[in-house]
């Protein structure tokens, strides 16, 4: 007799920021979680912290999900442990600040590989188990998805892809009982900003949200089967402006804002 596999929530980019907050949120709601990232030490610390609250200690998988065979390797690692996903949370990603022609080209292509290709692969790799478990996919995008971003052109474009892909997948998989939600936060004080080269004090406080609050709203939205979650009223207004403002005006405003960060 084949042993029944245990359902788990797989969270990529779980070593810091929103990913860590999402791990706490899912675990706090009774989900067994699998933590995936390149840095094992913070993953183990996170697993210990979750276990200390009385929950099941998460499985830690040190893995670079940008590798071309990462989805296959992840599936095999889960199978060896008798696990299968009932939720997949694609949080791994990064941004770079600066004009596209001035930034390192290889680094920008690597950003596309992680933010777009890897997210797509992991979203599609486990749909059969998600359907069996009536689970879902939570893809972390950004309010940047709603507008072009001179000064962070490639990053904004990758998040536009994540939003478009996730919304379409939401519609395609709805009849199979698989929920797909795009989580589009505004600025959050995490190490993402430092890696992108963005100062932590450049965003209006009205737009800022804590990682914990973003994670809570993302989790609730996924469980409710919502297609899109934008945490915060001010951020919702920004996305509406991005949808309906004249494109030329929008480009100038974003470019002006990005240049102000340089000064």
Q: Which residues are catalytic?
A: 155
Contacts of 174 (CB under 8 A, 6+ apart): 225
C-alpha span between 11 and 35 (Å, rounded) = 5
Give the integer Cα–Cα distance in Å for 81 and 11. 16
In the 8-state DSSP scheme, what is residue 67?
S
What is the CA angle 137-140-143, rounded to 5? 135
Closest CA to 165 of 230, 206, 203, 121: 121
DSSP string, 186-255: --B-SHHHHHHT--TT-S-TTT-B-HHHHHHHHHHHHHTT-SEE--SHHHHHHHHHHHHS-HHHHHHHHH
Listed in sequence order, the residues at least 6 apart from 251 whose beta carbon sits closer than 8 Å to its beta carbon are: 148, 150
Q: Is the torsion defined by CA of 182, 188, 192, 196 positive or negative? A: positive
CA distance 188 to 83: 32
């Amino acid at each position: 007799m084949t042993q029944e596999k245990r359902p788990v929530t797989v969270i990529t980019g779980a070593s810091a920021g929103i990913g860590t907050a999402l791990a706490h949120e899912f675990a706090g709601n009774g989900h067994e979680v699998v933590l995936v990232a390149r840095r094992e030490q913070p993953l183990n610390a996170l697993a210990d912290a979750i276990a200390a609250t009385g929950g099941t200690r998460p499985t830690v998988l040190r893995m670079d999900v940008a590798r071309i065979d990462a989805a296959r390797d992840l599936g095999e690692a889960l199978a060896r442990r008798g696990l299968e996903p009932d939720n997949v949370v694609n949080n791994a990603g990064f941004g770079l600040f600066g004009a596209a022609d001035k930034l390192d080209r290889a680094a920008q292509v690597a950003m596309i590989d992680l933010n777009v290709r890897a997210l797509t692969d992991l979203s599609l790799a486990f749909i059969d188990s998600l359907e069996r478990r009536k689970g879902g996919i939570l893809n972390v995008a950004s309010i940047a998805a709603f507008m072009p971003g001179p000064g962070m052109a490639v990053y904004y474009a990758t998040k536009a892809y994540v939003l478009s892909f996730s919304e379409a997948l939401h519609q395609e998989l709805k009849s199979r009982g698989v929920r797909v939600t795009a989580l589009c936060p505004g600025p959050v004080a995490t190490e993402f900003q430092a890696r992108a080269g963005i100062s932590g004090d450049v965003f209006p406080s009205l737009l800022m949200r804590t990682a914990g609050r973003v994670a809570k709203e993302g989790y609730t939205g996924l469980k409710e089967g919502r297609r899109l979650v934008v945490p915060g009223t001010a951020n919702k207004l920004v996305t509406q402006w991005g949808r309906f403002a004249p494109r030329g005006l929008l480009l100038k405003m974003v470019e002006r804002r990005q240049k102000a960060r340089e000064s």
